[in-house]
Amino acid sequence: MKYDYGECETCDAKLVGKRIKQDFWIRGKLVVIDNAPAGVCPRCGAKVVRSEVGKRIAGILESPRKWSKASVMRVPVVELPSL
């Protein structure tokens, strides 16, 4: 049975269940949680997760040992020029 995420709190559109990548900055390091189930707004892009998913993500992020053996990806860092 699919989970009903309800409506977006930002724009009232119906949230759609998807698997997402969610990024977090932890102690100066970028950590990406992949394949997280979430409700995503098709209109504004807002994302929400169920409480049990949020707790699992928090448990992973609280212990660097749990993500120290994860795959690593390189990302470009682009500085915004002064106006």
Q: Which pLDDT tens digit goes with each residue over 27-67? A: 888 999 999 999 999 999 999 999 999 999 999 999 888 88
| Interacting residues of 47 by C-beta distance below 8 A, sequence separation 6+ | 20, 22, 38, 39, 40, 41
Model confidence, pTM? 0.82
